[in-house]
Structure 1
């Protein structure tokens, strides 16, 4: 029978390794995402981006594109949040954050959101009148 130290130590060692492997596969691996050819190239930055889900959390932004940034509270009128997506709703508003990112950071965010596979990126007007990119779930995405 394995020692109690091994039974405790093995999961403690395996958990951070599993997390690191998942992050590498998601963010850096050449095998998990290839930008679809039909997507337009990313123009030079800076780019305004509205986020409303996991990217509202600074540690996630740091992992995805290398910094937490200087987000500003923002709202997107005309939509409501439904799970991982936004649905049109005339009397609704989605609260989130407005980010300013470079072209390289936007490419990393596109990878994270699996642009062209799970999400599309649209231009939308925020409540302050500015426009920003917003990720919307593709209708046939899992």
Structure 2
């Protein structure tokens, strides 16, 4: 019985440490400093094309405080490669378009570690609309 309790305690402790680390790295305001060379985000509405974890409502809620009403969208001329998009004129990436304000865009920048892990670039979607997308540096 003592071994079972030790194993259970170790497992729960490991999971809590992993959750704390992921929160620190991905969501906390303390683990990310916006690079000084990035321009400020003007107020307004922004469209962001997402194709990975941000397609899941609980992740969006954790990142910027609401799930929103994303719309299905496709990005032509690219394909997914692991966590990134690579240009490939014969492919397309299916995802969603999020409509966010400047503060929410800053939250997304923090989540994606803009300037450290990803860059934010403008792309044209299948329907002709312009949107931001995050691409690996």
Structure 1 length-normalised TM:
0.85
Give distance in 2, aligned partners of 1:132 and 1:104: 17
CA contact (8 A) 2:29 2:110 kept: no
Determine whether 1:34 maps to 2:24. Answer: no
Measured after TM superposition, the shift of residue 113 of structure 1 is 0.7
Give distance in 2, aligned partners of 1:127 and 1:27: 31
Unpaired segments ≥5 residues, structure 2: none
Aligned positions of 1:88-103 closer than 5 A: 88-103=87-102
Give distance in 1, aligned partners of 2:72 and 2:32: 30
Per-residue CA shift, 1:12-38, capped at 9, x if unaligned?
3652464145314431242x2111111
Structure 2 length-normalised TM:
0.88
Measured after TM superposition, the shift of residue 50 of structure 1 is 0.1
Q: CA RMSD in A?
A: 2.0
Give distance in 1, aligned partners of 2:133 and 2:18: 30
Q: How many correspondences in the alignment?
A: 137
